[in-house]
C-alpha cells in the first residue's frame, strides 16, 4: 500500500556535487595539511612530501609511516563522509578531508596503503573525478596503468604506512600552462610555501610538545621542515605571562579553553637580526601579533585579534596561544578545510582583560626598543612608508573633492622647503 505522504528520493548528483566540493576553500598548502592530519591520526612519525614536476604528468606524493589501512578500511576512507567513530582529541571530524582536499588540487587521487607489519600486503584504490563525471556515480576505479603511484610500493616495501598520490594537477598546473620554465617555477615555489606552512601548523608535533609527546618529522622534496614556533621559546628575553584556563559548556559538552600570553623580545633584545626576521613570520610583525588558535595542538589561525582589538604597531610583540579541544568544534565553528575558526561570543569577554594586560606589557617592551634608539626593521619601514603614501593619496583626493588643491599646492610648496622628507614620504 502506498503511504499517503511518500518520501521522495533526492540522492545528489555525484558528478555535480563532487565538482562543487572542489571549491570548498582549500589552498594547496591547507589541502596538504589536511592529509598530514590523517597521517598524525594514524600515528605516523614521518611524513614525506614530494612535489614532482614533469609537465602535464606532474604529481604530488604524500607518504607516511602510520598504521596504514586494510582493504576494507581503504574503500571506506575514499567514501565522501567515511563512516567511523572519532577519539576525543582526534584531528579528523567530517570524513571528507582526504577526498575534498585532494580533489581541490587534482583530478585523480590514488591511495596505496599497507597495514600488515610482516606480510607485504598492499592495497590500492583510485578516485578519478573524470570517471565520476562520466558515470555520475561515486565509484572507485582500478589503478590506471600510467600512474606514478608505483613509487609508493618502494615506500611500503618493509613496513606499514600510507601513500597518497595526486595526478592530473589541473588546479596547480592548468591545461595549456603545465609545461615550461614558468610551470616549473610555480611548482618550486609551492614547495617553499608548503614547508613554511607545515612548519607553523604542525610546530608542536615537530617539536614533540603536542599531547601525545611523539615527534613528527616532515620533509618537503627531501628537505626537513623546521618548526616555526610563533612564541620564540628559545629567546632569552621572551616573557611568558600567566596562563589562564576557562571551562566552557557547549550543549552537553564541556571543554577547557587555555589562553597563554607571551611578550616577544624587542628587536634589540633578540639573539640575532636573522632570528628577529625569522620570527616576524609570513605576515611580518604587525600582522602576526594576536591570537594563535590551536585545535588539538594543530594551529588553525595564525595571528590577528578576532575583533577584540585592532592591529597596532605598538603591540606587535604581543602573541597569545588559544587552545581549544575538538569537543568545542561547533562553538568555534571550525570549517571543513580547518583553515578558519570563529572566536565564540561567550569567550570574548573572558579574554578581553587578559588581552589588554598582554598588550600593555608588549607596549612596554616595544618602547624599550625606541629608548635604546633601535629603528624599525626593514619590513616595518616598508609598511610604514606604504601607510604614509596612502595618507598622501587620501589628502590629495580630499583636496580635489573640496576644490582646495590650490591651497594644498601652497602647503606642499612650503613643506618642500621646510621638510622635504615629509613630502617624499607622503608620495607628493
Ligand X SMILES: Nc1ncnc2c1ncn2[C@@H]1O[C@H](COP(=O)(O)OP(=O)(O)OP(=O)(O)O)[C@@H](O)[C@H]1O
**Residue 40 Cβ, how far from ligand X at the closest point, in Å?**
9
Cell triple for 91: 584531528
d(CA 352, CA 363): 16
User: What 3 state SS string does 358-378 have?
Assistant: HHHHHHHHHHHHHHCCCCCCH
Find the part of the chain contacting ligand X (CB under 6 A) among 20-28, 60-68, 256-264, 343-351: 60-68
Write each residue from 98 to 117 as x if it is in contact with ligand X (CB under 6 A), else as -, in one continuous string.
xx------------------
82 contacts ligand X (rule: CB under 6 A): yes
Question: Does residue 95 interact with ligand X by CB under 6 A?
Answer: yes
Q: Which of 46, 93, 309, 340 binds ligand X (CB under 6 A)?
A: 93
Decide if residue 94 touches ligand X (CB under 6 A). Answer: yes
48 sits near ligand X (criterion: CB under 6 A): no
Give the binding-site size for Mg ion (rule: CB under 5 A).
3
Q: Please tell me whether residue 96 binds ligand X under the rule CB under 6 A.
A: yes
The one among 38, 58, 100, 162 contacting Mg ion by CB under 5 A: 38
Whole-angstrom distance, CA of residue 427 vs CA of residue 44 = 54
Question: Which of 272, 273, 236, 243 shows the shortest CA–CA distance to 257?
Answer: 243
What is the rounded CA–CA span in Å between residue 211 and residue 89?
9
Grid coordinates belonging to 385? 612608508
340-379: contacts with Mg ion (CB under 5 A)? none
Record the cell numbers describing residue 296, joined without a space: 588539538
Site for Mg ion in 67-126 (CB under 5 A): 92, 97
Which DSSP letter does residue 141 get? B
| Partner from Mg ion, ligand X, none contacting 15, C-beta within 5 to 8 A by type | none
CB of 227 to Mg ion, least distance (A): 22
Gap between the Cα atoms of 244 and 242, Å rounded: 6
Q: Which residues, 287 to 316, sit near ligand X by CB under 6 A?
A: none
Q: Which of the ranges 97-105, 121-129, 151-159, 361-369 carries the binding residues for ligand X, by CB under 6 A?
A: 97-105
**Alpha carbon of 407 to those of 170, 303, 391: distances in Å?**
56, 43, 17
**Residues interacting with Mg ion, by CB under 5 A?**
38, 92, 97
Amino acid at each position: 500500500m502506498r503511504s499517503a505522504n511518500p518520501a521522495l528520493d533526492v540522492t545528489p548528483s555525484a558528478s555535480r556535487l563532487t565538482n562543487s566540493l572542489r571549491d570548498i576553500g582549500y589552498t594547496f598548502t591547507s589541502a596538504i595539511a589536511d592529509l598530514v592530519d590523517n597521517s598524525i591520526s594514524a600515528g605516523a612519525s614521518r611524513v614525506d612530501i614530494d612535489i614532482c614536476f614533469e609537465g602535464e604528468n606532474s604529481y604530488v606524493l604524500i607518504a607516511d609511516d602510520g598504521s596504514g589501512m586494510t582493504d576494507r578500511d581503504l574503500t571506506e576512507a575514499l567514501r565522501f563522509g567515511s563512516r567511523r567513530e572519532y577519539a576525543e582529541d582526534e584531528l579528523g571530524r567530517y570524513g571528507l578531508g582526504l577526498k575534498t582536499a585532494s580533489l581541490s588540487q587534482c583530478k585523480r587521487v590514488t591511495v596505496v596503503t599497507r597495514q600488515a607489519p610482516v606480510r607485504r600486503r598492499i592495497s590500492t584504490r583510485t578516485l578519478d573525478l573524470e570517471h565520476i563525471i562520466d558515470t555520475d556515480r561515486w565509484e572507485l576505479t582500478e589503478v590506471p596503468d600510467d600512474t606514478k603511484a608505483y613509487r609508493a610500493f618502494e615506500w611500503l616495501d618493509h613496513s606499514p604506512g600510507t601513500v597518497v598520490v595526486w595526478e592530473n594537477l589541473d588546479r596547480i598546473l592548468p591545461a595549456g600552462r603545465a609545461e615550461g620554465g614558468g610551470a616549473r617555477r610555480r611548482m618550486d615555489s609551492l614547495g617553499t610555501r608548503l614547508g613554511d606552512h607545515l612548519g607553523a601548523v604542525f610546530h608542536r608535533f615537530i617539536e614533540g610538545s603536542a599531547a601525545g609527546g611523539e615527534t613528527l618529522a616532515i620533509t618537503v622534496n627531501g628537505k626537513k621542515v623546521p618548526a616555526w614556533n610563533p612564541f620564540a621559546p628559545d629567546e632569552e628575553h621572551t616573557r611568558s605571562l600567566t596562563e589562564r584556563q576557562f571551562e566552557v559548556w557547549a550543549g552537553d559538552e564541556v571543554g577547557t579553553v587555555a589562553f597563554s600570553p607571551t611578550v616577544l623580545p624587542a628587536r634589540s633584545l633578540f639573539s640575532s637580526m636573522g632570528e628577529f626576521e625569522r620570527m616576524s613570520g609570513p605576515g611580518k610583525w604587525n600582522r602576526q601579533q594576536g591570537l594563535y588558535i590551536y585545535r588539538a595542538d594543530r594551529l588553525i589561525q595564525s595571528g590577528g585579534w578576532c575583533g577584540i582589538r585592532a592591529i597596532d604597531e605598538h603591540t606587535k610583540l604581543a602573541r597569545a596561544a588559544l587552545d581549544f579541544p575538538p569537543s568545542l568544534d561547533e562553538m568555534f565553528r571550525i570549517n571543513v578545510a580547518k583553515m578558519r575558526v570563529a572566536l565564540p561570543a561567550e569567550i570574548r569577554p573572558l579574554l578581553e582583560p587578559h588581552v589588554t594586560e598582554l598588550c600593555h606589557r608588549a607596549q612596554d617592551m616595544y618602547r624599550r626598543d625606541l629608548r635604546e634608539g633601535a629603528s624599525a626593521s626593514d619590513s616595518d619601514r616598508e609598511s610604514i612608508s606604504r601607510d604614509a603614501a596612502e595618507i598622501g593619496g587620501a589628502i590629495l583626493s580630499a583636496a580635489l573633492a573640496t576644490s582646495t588643491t590650490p591651497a594644498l599646492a601652497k602647503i606642499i610648496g612650503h613643506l618642500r622647503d621646510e621638510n622635504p622628507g615629509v613630502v617624499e614620504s607622503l608620495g607628493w
